Each structure stands twice: as structure tokens, then as C-alpha cells.
Amino acid sequence: MDKIFIKNLRAHGIVGIHPHEREIQQVILINVTVYTDTHRAAQTDDIADCIDYDALAKKLKSHTESAARYTVEALANDLARICLKEQGAEKVILSVEKPDAVPSAQSVGVEVERVRE
């Protein structure tokens, strides 16, 4: 299976359980790998036969910035569902990170793996 990916998509949003996390937007990093078959896209050289990663990135960023979830687990599952709605998406591995959440860590977050049902 082929893959398309988006690395370190930066969004600003509300995610967290602590009162200060509910008041001030924080940086949220999203990494996505979508498994798909790119053979047709390679043959036709037509964006209509591709997963448009620019459009997908905009959907993921928009949801992240408006969702105001309490857990990164919930946000990651939301975003995985969005990815799997894309035509041709068979599987997604997606991570959501909060780089400023724990002062002594570079980043914390969650990674989920989901398949189309």
C-alpha cells in the first residue's frame, strides 16, 4: 500500500483538562500517514485521482482549531475519521502532540492507527 503524509502540521487550539488549557490556545502538531493506492493517480497525473493533501491539511487544521477537546485521544480519533472519509483512504496512522504541555519534555501526545471499515 502506498502512503501520503503530512508532517508537523501546526495548529493552535484548545485541548486539555487543566483550566489554563481551556482558556488559552496552544500549539498542536499533527502528523498523518494515509495509506492508499496511488497507481491510478500515477497513470492519469490528475489530482481528482489523488488524496489532496493540501485540502486534507486544511480540514485537519480547521477541526483542530475549533474542536476544543479535553483529550488528545479524542482529537486524534476525530482527525483519523476525517482522513478515512477521503476517497481511497484505507488506513491512517495519525499523531497529535502538545509540545508545550510538559516543561521537561520536548513533546507529549498520542498516536492512533485506524482502518476503513
Task: Indicate which residues carry an active-site annotation.
Answer: 98
Instruction: Check if the beta carbon of residue 30 is closer than 8 Å to that of residue 6.
Output: yes
Residue 76 pairs in a beta bridge with: none
Helix (H) or strand (E) holding 22: helix 19-23
